[in-house]
């Protein structure tokens, strides 16, 4: 009897061990986690035959679609129903596009993706009911801190630090009313905080606006911080460390870059061609290549945009009851009488119309109906931040100023701000 029960017990233990082993083996062969499919532009490219190309001279949306077996009704729907989203008349030569075609013998175009720029794109979905919509590629913003000392020019110094030339323009626009960037001194210092944009972590896609800046010119430090003072109109200006607006009522010149001051306002000017008789020059001449953009030096309404005698083609702008400006010898005008223009708007292009010996714009400045020398006028500045808003402004700029002060103008540094563009939520998300 004892042997009988011993045998039974051994058999039970053996079965239990096999069951445990079987359970362990089952656990060891669990299905792996499913790897998510990459979906560029929101599509699984494995489901299509993908064609990548660029718009060529003579290409049109209709012809591209017809070549890829899309019928006329669908093409018509895109051109008429979705022209506000995708104006087929404005596709540009050189722009890349993709066609996602069906995986069958017909290879019919099912999706057309047009790349508007590095970030923005337009999708025309031709499957079933036609639809068109815009989207953005995932973008990562990297905050960058740059500091340097000028030895030759601002653009060359920034270039040596690996900074996009566009930042030279942005910085000069911030300080356009307080610093003459054509007369910088060796030893002038600057510090900038801004965002750089990257697609897929590596492809550079430009820079954002300046978040904070510092410029030391002739030993005078000037900070710059963007701040919205009118939340209703969402008007943003740059202000200094004392809450003063860095913007003046008038720009220093009607041309932003690439000009030369060729002739100043001079009521006693004598010209050899006229026998050295006094020929007053009531304008300030800025020489520049033909086609250089001419900008309005202040907000105002165009009172004249015409051609007359020695003035050639010109534009005159009334800014208020006191001031007006005039821009002569244009190649052509961009604005018409009665239009309201903002400071910095392009109003025409440098030319040689009228009496002129070379391409330039003659800039005339009127005060109370009389022409005066703008370079000698003490022009009004924009309003500072109101006293009631200043405490909030100073609190806002405190960390930005500390960040600038920590930068060394003899070196550069950068840090990544963990802000990414989330395509699924169509907005910015903070990690």
Residue range 281-300: average pLDDT? 89
Q: Which of 33, 199, 37 is nearest to 115 (CA)?
A: 199
User: What beta strand segments (E) does 338-401 contain?
Assistant: 340-341, 346-350, 360-367, 370-372
- pLDDT given at position 77: 92
Number of H helices, E strands in the chain: 6, 25
Phi, psi of 28 (to 5 degrees): -65, -20
Residue range 358-380: average pLDDT? 86
CB 241 within 8 A of CB 223: yes
Q: What is the 3-state secondary structure (H, E, C) of 71-115?
A: CHHHHHHHHHHCCCCCCHHHCCCCCEEEEEECCCCCCCEEEEEEE
Cβ atoms within 10 A of the Cβ of 63, count? 11
Dump pLDDT digits (tens) for 1-30: 555 555 544 554 454 454 454 444 444 445
| In the predicted structure, residue 34 carries a pLDDT above the cut 80 | no
Residue range 376-390: average pLDDT? 82
Sign of the Cα pseudo-torsion (73, 75, 76, 80, in order): positive
Q: Which two tokens stand for residue 219?
A: 């030993």
Q: Which two tokens stand for residue 283?
A: 């304008």
Residue 229: pLDDT band by 50, 70, 90 thresholds? confident
End-to-end Cα, the chain, rounded Å: 73
Per DSSP, the three-state class of 168 is helix
The whole-angstrom separation of Cα 47 and Cα 119 is 24
Average pLDDT across the chain, whole number: 82
Residue ranges of domains in the chain, CATH in brackets: 40-136 (3.10.450.350), 140-248+384-422 (3.10.450.350), 260-372 (2.70.70.10)
330 Cβ partners below 8 Å, 6+ apart?
Answer: 294, 312, 313, 314, 315, 348, 349, 350, 351, 353, 361
| In the predicted structure, residue 416 carries a pLDDT above the cut 80 | no
Dump pLDDT digits (tens) for 201-221: 788 888 899 999 999 988 889
User: What beta strand segments (E) does 96-217 contain?
Assistant: 96-101, 109-115, 120-125, 131-136, 139-149, 189-199, 203-217
Look-up: residue for tokens 């083609």? Answer: 313
Q: Which of 345, 347, 300 is nearest to 321 (CA)?
A: 300
Dump pLDDT digits (tens) for 38-53: 578 889 999 999 999 9
Torsion of CA 306, 311, 316, 322, to 10 degrees: -150
Residue range 372-381: average pLDDT? 79
Per DSSP, the three-state class of 10 is helix
**Between vectors from CA 151 to CA 147 and to CA 156, what angle results, nearest 5°?**
75
Q: In sequence order, what are the beta bridge partners of 191? A: 147, 214
Dump pLDDT digits (tens) for 61-116: 999 999 999 999 999 999 999 989 999 988 999 999 999 999 999 999 999 999 99
The whole-angstrom separation of Cα 268 and Cα 277 is 9
- pLDDT given at position 284: 86
Dump pLDDT digits (tens) for 151-184: 888 888 998 898 988 998 899 888 877 777 777 8
List, in sequence order, the alpha helices (H) in 272-314.
none
Residue range 409-414: average pLDDT? 55
- pLDDT given at position 269: 59
Question: The whole model's pTM is what?
Answer: 0.57
Continuous segment of H or E residues that includes residue 401: helix 390-405
Cβ atoms within 10 A of the Cβ of 82, count? 17
Residue range 271-281: average pLDDT? 57
Q: Which two tokens stand for residue 243?
A: 């809450």
Q: Which of 308, 296, 315, 287 is nearest to 355 (CA)?
A: 308
| In the predicted structure, residue 368 carries a pLDDT above the cut 60 | yes
The whole-angstrom separation of Cα 245 and Cα 224 is 9
Residue range 279-307: average pLDDT? 89
- pLDDT given at position 31: 53
């Amino acid at each position: 009897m004892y042997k009988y029960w011993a045998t039974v017990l051994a058999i039970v233990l053996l079965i239990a061990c096999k069951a445990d082993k079987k359970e362990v083996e089952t656990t060891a062969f669990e299905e792996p986690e499913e790897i998510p499919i990459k979906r560029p532009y929101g599509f699984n490219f494995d489901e299509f035959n993908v064609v990548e190309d660029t718009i060529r001279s003579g290409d049109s949306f209709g012809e591209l679609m017809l070549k890829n077996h899309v019928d006329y009704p669908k093409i018509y729907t895109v051109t008429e129903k979705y022209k506000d989203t995708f104006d087929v008349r404005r596709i540009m030569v050189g722009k890349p596009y993709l066609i996602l075609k069906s995986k069958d013998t017909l290879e019919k175009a099912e999706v057309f993706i047009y790349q508007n720029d590095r970030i923005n794109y337009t999708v025309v979905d031709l499957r079933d009911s036609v639809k068109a919509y815009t989207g953005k590629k995932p973008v990562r913003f990297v905050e960058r801190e740059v500091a340097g000392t000028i030895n030759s020019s601002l653009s060359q110094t920034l270039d040596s630090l690996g900074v996009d030339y566009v930042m030279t323009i942005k910085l000069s626009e911030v300080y356009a009313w307080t610093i003459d960037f054509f007369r910088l001194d060796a030893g002038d210092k600057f510090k900038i905080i801004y965002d750089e944009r990257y697609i897929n972590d590596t492809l550079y896609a430009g820079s954002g606006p300046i978040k904070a800046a510092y410029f030391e010119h002739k030993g005078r430090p000037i900070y710059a911080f963007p701040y919205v003072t009118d939340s209703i109109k969402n008007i943003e200006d740059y202000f200094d460390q004392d809450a003063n607006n860095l913007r003046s009522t008038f720009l220093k010149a009607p041309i932003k870059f690439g000009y030369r001051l060729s002739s100043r306002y001079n009521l006693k000017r004598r010209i050899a061609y006229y026998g050295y008789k006094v020929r007053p020059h009531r304008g300030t001449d800025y020489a520049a290549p033909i086609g250089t953009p001419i900008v309005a030096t202040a907000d105002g309404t165009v009172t004249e945009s015409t051609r007359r005698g020695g003035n050639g083609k010109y534009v005159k702008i009334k800014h208020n009851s006191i001031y007006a400006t005039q821009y002569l010898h244009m190649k052509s005008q961009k604005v018409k009488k009665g239009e309201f223009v903002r400071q910095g708007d392009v109003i025409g292009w440098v030319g040689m119309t009228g009496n002129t010996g070379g391409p330039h714009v003659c800039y005339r400045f009127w005060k109370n109906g009389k022409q005066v020398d703008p370079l000698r006028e003490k022009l009004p500045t924009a309003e500072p931040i109101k006293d009631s808003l200043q405490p909030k402004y100073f609190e806002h700029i405190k960390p930005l100023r500390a960040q600038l002060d920590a930068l060394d103008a003899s070196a550069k540094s950068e840090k990544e701000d963990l802000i990414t563009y989330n395509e699924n939520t169509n907005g910015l998300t903070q990690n």
